[in-house]
Structure 1
């Protein structure tokens, strides 16, 4: 495998037996956070929530199966504010500005605004990136 192949790889193979609640897995082609793993021999039922859409997915796998786990990029930013249409204004340590991350709903927008208001010296936030999508990590 070349260095370019490694850099382009966005998932890694993992045994189903190594997955646990709170981890990450690809379900129906989407990067999901695992909310439950139910091992009922010989199948394992995995339920996850899509990191970017919030949609719930469920799949069954053989107990000895190999599944794909998303390789998430995490970037730390300083929160500069939030727009009325719920896009975050973020700046990285290297000075790069990111205004492409949008929070899902009004409740989440209020939580971000509260975080911003309570940290006048700059609230630090983490953003997950995977396969061209970005999402605030909570």
Structure 2
């Protein structure tokens, strides 16, 4: 008998094993928390709960803003059902350079470089570019990540050296 059958096994490697979302009951969600609506990570801006109807479930109506696109999304969910909540992480990076619309960033703690984030094509992006070109201190950008997406969503100037 041959041991060649092991050559046919394929192992798929995943990420760190941390889930991109976790379930949370609709009635436990609150304004300013994050929730997944139509597959997008959103921040809840309005919530209302209807009374229990003759068919048994109180409904939760949510209005939320996509954290990456700023689009307004709505959802209605029975209060006893679960919804997915995205794991949202925020990190600050030092802006080293802006090259061809992409930011060269450095993690101030680990000194690791990150070159794959685009400067936003919005007023925020222009503010970051202006602050970087003025050279009045180190420009720190806030990078938000959720469900495998990352974007620059804020900035500040640090004058301490």
Tell me the TM-score range normalised by the shorter chain. 0.7 to 0.9
Q: How many Å apart are 1:84 and its aligned residue?
A: 5.3
Mean CA deviation greater in 25-34 or 120-129:
120-129
Tell me which residue corresponds to 1:58: 74
1:43-99: CA deviations, max 9, x gaps? Answer: 1111222222332221101122211110123222112243453x3221112222222
Q: How many Å apart are 1:26 and its aligned residue?
A: 0.5
Distance 2:105 2:16 in 1: 28
If the length of structure 1 is used for normalisation, what is the TM-score?
0.79
Tell me which residue corresponds to 2:21: 11
User: Structure 1's 79 and 130: CA in aligned 2 closer, same or farther, altered over 3 A?
Assistant: same
Q: How many Å apart are 1:5 and its aligned residue?
A: 9.2
Q: Choose the corresponding residue for 1:38, options 16, 35, 48.
A: 48
Q: How many Å apart are 1:108 and its aligned residue?
A: 1.7
Determine which structure has more spread, i.e. the larger CA radius of gyration. Answer: 2
Q: How many Å apart are 1:39 and its aligned residue?
A: 1.9
User: Structure 1's 19 and 116: CA in aligned 2 closer, same or farther, altered over 3 A?
Assistant: farther
Larger relative contact order (Cα-Cα within 8 Å, sequence gap ≥ 6): 1
Structure 2 gaps, min length 5:
1-13, 52-57, 155-161
Q: How many Å apart are 1:116 and its aligned residue?
A: 3.3
1:91 maps to 2:106: yes
Distance 1:37 1:6 in 2: 34
8 Å contact kept, 2:21–2:86: yes
